[in-house]
């Protein structure tokens, strides 16, 4: 984090400074500098760090203040005064709000010199992959800050912003939401120069209350942009395309449609990735071998290329960066090719109907002599009233895609199994297991050389660990 005095930080978050036994004297709070990393996880605190104690759904961060102090915290932000604390504490009404206020001010100060460019990324699917691609491209241009994992909510996004330093040139902010208004909150913290919207789908539809609420929430990315900003929008998604009417920003289109400004053509999908021709608005084009498995990830690559083009990154540098990325992220189309001839595609970190269908289509495209395609599928969570219908739809689609073997794990995905077995033309190809352990015991004996196996579910279903076990077993 940038240098702030203890007094400045207290005023920024609207708190009250309480000094510990061995802390600075009150009169020196305006000269005492704090600039350590900020975190809400006591395990991540390092000497000089700032620990923000936030109440949680299942625990209370205030219980972990002693652990943060033991790890070297110089300051804690709390919602109540803690006794017998030897370091300063800033007491605030709401620690998550305080985190956001601090992030907003840090971004504002760094932006004041005009060198920082902020990129905001949202969408029902593809945010983390696109964020990683943008980061890879921009790291070659200057100091770049981007989230780790999927730090994209009201806590994770400001924690990322607080990693900015005075010399940071780019901030890549992934912005997710579980209800309307959350993206607006994050946009107003970071004030993106470039706002990217990837797609609008049924991910989290149960929380939002339907696709229209999802559309309304994702549109928040572009409604606050000003005329000097750029909205990078997916031409292929008609819901995203409609956002052009909701923003004052300039529009840069990306997509597979030949009318898009940044587009891909001549796609060739293989088990080692997708080859395509990338074309920029200037008319320049180049062939790209994109190693991230799945044609659907080409759209994410186009979004990243559109951001880079807006920031005047040359085509050659864009291509080099895209070709250097070999996986989307841990547990996202992560390929483990074993010495026993079994290939595991572990894509079980997130699952929505759109991403499930994209993963299954990728599996279906992988064909050749001796290849048997196997799908191990779990629940798509957070679909609410749409859950039964969407699991049923995916189950029937698997049959139509011609995937030879399906294993369904967990009660939440039972409708998927029933739909597949009822679709007809199959005879025992779909097998249901209540637990991942039961599935593993059968899979360990059944998988054979030449099999390509997709493991796909929402994070809550835990199948990513089953994918890891299978990867270790057959690697």
Query: Coil, strand, or helix at residue 472?
Result: helix
Is 10 part of any known ligand binding site? no
Q: Based on the number of CB atoms within 10 Å of its own CB, is 110 exposed (0-12), middle (13-18) or buried (19 or more)?
A: buried
Rounded distance between C-alpha atoms, residue 170 and residue 173, angstroms: 10
In the block, tokens 């083009």 appear at 309
Q: SS3 breakdown of the chain: % helix, strand, coil, rounded to 5?
A: 40, 20, 40
Q: Is 35 annotated as a binding residue?
A: no
The answer on whether 123 is annotated among ligand-binding residues is: yes
Task: Report residue 16: phi and psi, to 5°.
Answer: -120, 125
Let me know: does 410 contact 378? Beta carbons within 8 Å: yes
Residue reference for tokens 């099999």: 451
Query: HSE of 402 in the Cβ direction (CA atoms, 13 Å)?
Result: 7
Per the annotation, does 128 bind a ligand? Answer: yes
Task: For residue 246, report the phi and psi dihedrals to the nearest 5 degrees.
Answer: -105, 5
124 is in an annotated binding site: yes
The DSSP-derived string for 211-227 is HHHHHHHHHHHHHT--T
- Kindly give, in sequence order, each residue whose CB lies less than 8 Å from that of residue 304, ignoring residues fewer than 6 positions away: 130, 133, 134, 137, 318, 322
How many CB atoms sit inside 10 A of residue 162's CB?
A: 20
Q: Is 129 annotated among the ligand-binding residues? A: yes
Tokens describing residue 375: 């799908």
Both tokens assigned to 204: 């989290």
Q: What is the CA radius of gyration of the chain?
A: 24
Task: Using alpha carbons, select from 456, 450, 457, 458 the residue that is nearest to residue 474.
Answer: 450
Residue ranges with strand state E in 259-401: 262-270, 273-279, 285-290, 334-337, 343-347, 372-377
Nearest one of 148, 150, 149, 118 to 232, comparing CA atoms: 118
> What CA–CA distance (Å, rounded) separates 442 from 169?
51
In whole angstroms, give the CA distance from residue 351 to residue 425: 27
Between helix 95-111 and helix 182-190 the angle, nearest 10°, is 40
Q: Detail the residues annotated as belonging to a binding site for ATP.
A: 123-129
Q: Detail the residues annotated as belonging to a binding site.
A: 123-129
């Amino acid at each position: 984090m940038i240098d702030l005095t203890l007094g400045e930080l207290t005023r920024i978050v609207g708190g009250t400074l309480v000094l510990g036994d061995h802390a600075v004297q009150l009169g020196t709070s305006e000269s005492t500098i704090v600039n350590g990393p900020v975190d809400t996880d006591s395990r991540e605190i390092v000497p000089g760090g700032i620990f923000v104690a936030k109440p949680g759904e299942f625990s209370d961060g205030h219980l972990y203040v002693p652990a943060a102090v033991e790890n070297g915290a110089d300051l804690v932000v709390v919602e109540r005064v803690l006794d017998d604390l030897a370091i300063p504490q800033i007491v605030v009404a709401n620690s998550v709000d305080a985190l956001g206020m601090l992030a907003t001010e840090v971004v504002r100060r760094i932006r004041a010199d005009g060198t920082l460019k902020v990129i905001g990324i949202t969408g029902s699917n593809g945010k983390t992959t696109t964020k990683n691609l943008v980061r890879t491209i921009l790291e070659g241009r200057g100091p770049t800050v981007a989230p780790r994992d999927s730090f994209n909510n009201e806590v994770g996004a400001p924690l990322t912003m607080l990693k900015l330093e005075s010399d940071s040139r780019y901030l890549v902010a992934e912005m997710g939401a579980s209800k309307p208004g959350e993206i607006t909150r994050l946009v107003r913290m970071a004030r993106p120069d470039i706002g990217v919207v990837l797609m609008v789908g049924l991910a989290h539809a149960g929380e939002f209350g339907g696709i229209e609420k999802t559309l309304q929430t994702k549109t928040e990315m572009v409604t606050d942009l000003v005329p000097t900003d750029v909205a990078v929008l997916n031409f292929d998604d008609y819901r995203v395309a409609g956002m052009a009417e909701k923003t004052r920003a300039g529009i840069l289109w990306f997509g597979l449609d030949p009318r898009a400004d940044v587009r891909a053509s001549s796609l060739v999908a293989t088990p080692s990735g997708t080859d395509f021709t990338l074309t920029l608005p200037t008319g320049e084009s180049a062939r790209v071998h994109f190693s991230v498995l799945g044609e659907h990830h080409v759209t994410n690559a186009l979004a990243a290329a559109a951001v880079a083009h807006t920031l005047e990154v040359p085509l050659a540098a864009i291509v080099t960066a895209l070709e250097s990325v070999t996986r989307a992220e841990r547990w996202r189309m992560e390929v483990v090719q074993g010495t026993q001839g079994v290939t595991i595609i572990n894509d079980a970190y997130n699952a929505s109907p759109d991403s499930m269908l994209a993963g299954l289509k990728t599996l279906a495209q992988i064909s050749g002599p001796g290849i048997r395609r196997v799908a191990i599928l779990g629940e798509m969570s957070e679909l609410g009233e749409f859950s039964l219908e969407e699991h049923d739809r995916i189950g029937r689609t698997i049959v139509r895609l011609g995937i030879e073997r399906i294993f369904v794990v967990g009660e939440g995905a039972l409708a998927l199994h029933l739909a597949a077995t009822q679709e007809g033309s199959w005879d025992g190809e779909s097998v249901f297991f209540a637990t991942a352990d039961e599935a593993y015991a059968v899979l360990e004996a059944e998988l054979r050389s030449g099999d390509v196996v997709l493991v796909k579910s929402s994070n809550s279903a835990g199948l990513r660990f089953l994918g890891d076990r299978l990867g270790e077993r057959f690697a």
